Amino acid sequence: MDRRDHEFDFAQHVKEEGYPMHINLGVIDGMQRGRTSSDSFIFGPEGTTPGDSPNGATGADGLAADVSRKQRHNLREQRRIMRIGNQFEQLKKKLESVGFLSNKKDKHSILQATIEYIAALERDSHAAGLPPPLPRPSSSSDSGKENMNSNNHAIESMPPPTNYTPPPPPAVNYMWNIPPSQSVQCVPEMVIDSTATYRHVFLHTSVPCVLTRLDGSIVESNYLFHELFNASPDELRLYNLYSLCLPADVPKLQGIVSKVLSFEVNSCRASMMWKYGVERHVYVSVALVRDHTGQAVNLQCSVWPLA
């Protein structure tokens, strides 16, 4: 009997005895040889292999490992989708806060509005001769930390609270703080057959006027408005429309502003009491200002003293 027959008889004997045992025929009598597919046998109590287990289970350990890998992949994918969704939500709120987003709130519209908004800021900053805003820190450090913890439990980033109001981008702050000598350059449209710009028209309008952001905070006012309230432009910028009227009339002013912002009417007006130093009975008219893309960007308010 040669050595191969002896090895086969020994393996057959172990199989008949029913001992679970792993036999590597590559190591016999201290000799090492190359391993092939026929060299390894795994026998169970009934002489079966994992491929024909009586319980019908096949590669339980490998299957568990596959399930674990799929679970980790699904968790990472859920985190990624949630993170992107939160970033779109914050971007949408930023655009809404500066009035640069229409009623469409899908992701394509948000990205399109973002591109148009950035382009408008770049044009305005270039026309005013302002330096570009400082670059913000990259988010690569945050993503690196997340990759390090990819095998841990998912840490879900919570969306901002409902009363969260994102601050305007730095470039918008530049626009609000443009000196008078440079602000003329931001309105290049000239009145036909005149050397005056439409900024000059606003400053010299025959009715007291004020220009505000969509939240009511004052951006600019004309000369008659300064004269009516006996206040400088810098002093008026510390106020908003709602702080200029008496508390009892704040709901009335909020009502007409809401109608304008909801596009129910082009303008809305009402009489109320305003106070800046002294109380005045005034007639207030509010209109919505749109940019070249049709986006709502500002509120224009005219005030007529009634007494």
Which residue, 30, 58, 86, sits at the end of a domain?
Answer: 58
Number of domains in the chain: 2
Q: Which of 36, 58, 80 is the last residue of a domain?
A: 58
Tell me which residue of 278, 236, 233, 270 sits closest to 254, measured CA to CA. 270
Q: Cα–Cα distances in Å, from 200 out to 87, 204, 223, 235?
A: 40, 6, 10, 21
Which residues, at least 6 apart from 85, have a Cβ–Cβ distance to it below 8 Å? Answer: none
pLDDT value at residue 163: 44
Q: Note whether residue 206 is domain-resident.
A: yes
E strands along 19-81, which residues?
21-24, 27-28, 31-32, 40-43
The residue among 225, 227, 285 whose CA lies nearest residue 259 is 285
**123-137, 243-257, 279-293: range with lowest mean pLDDT:** 123-137
Taking the whole predicted model, whether its pTM rises above 0.75 is answered as no
Rg (CA), the chain: 37
- On the question of pLDDT at 33 being above 60, the answer is no
CATH number at residue 212: 3.30.450.20
Is the pLDDT confidence value at 156 over 50?
Answer: no
d(CA 96, CA 297): 9
Residue pair 142/83 in contact by the 8 Å Cβ criterion: no
Closest CA to 47 of 78, 63, 23: 23
For residue 294, is it within any domain?
yes
What's the residue count for the chain? 307
Range of the domain at 236: 189-305
Q: Is 31 inside a domain boundary?
A: yes
Q: Which of 58, 76, 100 is the last residue of a domain?
A: 58
Q: Three-state SS for 296?
A: strand
Task: Please work out, in degrees rounded to the nearest 5, the angle formed at the alpha carbon of residue 277 by the alpha carbons of 240 and 223.
Answer: 65
Residue 12 counted as domain residue: yes
Name the percent of the chain lying above pLDDT 90: 5
**pLDDT reported for residue 164:** 39
64-123 pLDDT per residue, tens: 677 788 888 888 888 888 888 888 888 888 777 766 666 667 787 788 778 877 877 777
In three-state secondary structure terms, 57 is coil
Position 122 in a domain: no
Residue type, 132: P
For residue 176, is it within any domain?
no
